[in-house]
Structure 1
């Protein structure tokens, strides 16, 4: 029996997670991380994907991005894999696969869920105990969204722009929302949905996406969506 086709909804944000084979590290030092980001930028431009957020962990990555068509996401990741894995293997004198099978994706509802997903991605280092504060971890898009520096990889999503009329207002509102954190139930829902590659959205969003794609999709969580950030 063949593998099910990956759900891709052009024009909507997607959360992507890819892990190292057998949970092995995919970055051994900062030079590896720098090279990965260079290759990621090439792949995003080549296939016209908008990257909204990212984090590089020791043995996995999270990306939050929007593809322009159904084929571009897979092609971009294949292109990225060819560049980075070949370079990584040559540099570290190794052979074979680096990544664990297929990457997982979740289509994300822009209303009520996008910023929660972005926050989930960018707070990974804090949850893992790798960062003492919001700006102490270099390898994510968080510094960009807090105004510490402009990241050329990032295209801010309209949901982020709704946080304020000026960059300062958006950055301050996002910082406040980050510091509030997620309650345990909502964080568990986000983690479980994204880990399974399910649709991250409310019931109406899931139903509309199922009709649009003609596919049976896992229902979204019942009840209210995660609390939106101020101004969203």
Structure 2
């Protein structure tokens, strides 16, 4: 069966995952994580990409990225990030060859209903993997920047859904932390995970219709459901 072409839509968030080749470790020490984040911070502006969330795991990365009108920027960013990390690792270990799988996975995300849920999914990865007890304990994700007033958080892009959580930065941080503490249903996790693995859309049937109109092609929706909203206070 031929592989389905990747769906990339301008100005929409995309959940992206890239894994190490044969699931090998790609981040060995702190310096590896620092370098990747520095490269992400630099290259996002080069290719016109907004970064809404990230989480660097030992052998893969989760990113929530939104390209502008030039959709090629998404692929160029991922290619540049992978190339820099590969050159660094090969030089450090005196080796040759690839560090990453050749094809990253991606899923276009419905902003209104799923964007915050996808941020939560990404930032809770270390908790689900039992690496830490709470998202705030993990240093290599966007959660600490989103939930605290860190001086180095100015490069992380703030999506409209996060802004809508409150009329002040402090209010938004508090409500997002409350959202992170809510119980996450297995159906929400499965929907996000399956959409990513299959290259499908993360969203509702109406969202699929919207993207089909934009793309001019039929897109299959597998699995439906709506994540719980941030509770009103």
Q: CA deviation at 1:196?
A: 2.1
Is the partner of 1:62 in helix, strand or coil?
strand
1:171 pairs with one of 147, 156, 173: 173
Q: CA deviation at 1:190?
A: 1.7
Q: Which residue is equivalent to 2:132?
A: 131
Is the partner of 1:219 in helix, strand or coil?
coil
Q: CA deviation at 1:59?
A: 0.5
Q: Using the alignment, how far apart are the partners of 2:100 and 2:83 within structure 1?
A: 11
Q: CA deviation at 1:78?
A: 1.4
Q: Is the 2:7–2:199 contact (alpha carbons within 8 Å) kept by the matching residues of 1? A: no
The alignment's TM-score, normalised by the length of structure 1, stands at 0.94
Q: Is the 1:135–1:143 contact (alpha carbons within 8 Å) kept by the matching residues of 2? A: yes
Q: Which residue is equivalent to 1:44?
A: 44
Q: Deviation digits for residues 100-134 of structure 1, max 9, x if unmatched?
A: 12111100001111110000001101111111223
Q: Which residue is equivalent to 1:204?
A: 206
- Which range moved further: 36-45 or 10-19? 36-45
What does 1:144-183 align with in structure 2 at a 5 Å threshold? Answer: 144-150=145-151, 151-183=153-185
More helix by share: 2
Q: Is the 1:109–1:205 contact (alpha carbons within 8 Å) kept by the matching residues of 2? A: yes
Q: CA deviation at 1:221?
A: 3.5
Q: Which residue is equivalent to 2:191?
A: 189
Q: Deviation digits for residues 137-187 of structure 1, max 9, x if unmatched?
A: 100000011115242431010111111111111111111111113112222
What does 1:43-82 align with in structure 2 at a 5 Å threshold? Answer: 43-68=43-68, 69-82=70-83
Q: Which ranges in structure 2 are unaligned for 5 or more consecutive residues?
A: none
Q: CA deviation at 1:2?
A: 6.7
Q: Using the alignment, how far apart are the partners of 1:91 and 1:63 within structure 2?
A: 25
Q: Which residue is equivalent to 1:113?
A: 114
Q: Is the 2:53–2:65 contact (alpha carbons within 8 Å) kept by the matching residues of 1? A: yes
Is the partner of 2:65 in helix, strand or coil?
strand
Q: CA deviation at 1:3?
A: 4.7
Moved segments of 4+, more than 6 Å:
none
Q: Using the alignment, how far apart are the partners of 1:220 and 1:14 within structure 2?
A: 17
- Which range moved further: 1-10 or 208-217? 1-10
Q: Using the alignment, how far apart are the partners of 1:186 and 1:215 within structure 2?
A: 26
1:95 maps to 2:96: yes
- Which range moved further: 16-25 or 175-184? 175-184
Q: Using the alignment, how far apart are the partners of 1:98 and 1:205 within structure 2?
A: 35
- Which range moved further: 84-93 or 54-63? 84-93
Q: Deviation digits for residues 4-38 of structure 1, max 9, x if unmatched?
A: 43211000111000000101011111111111111
Q: CA deviation at 1:188?
A: 1.7
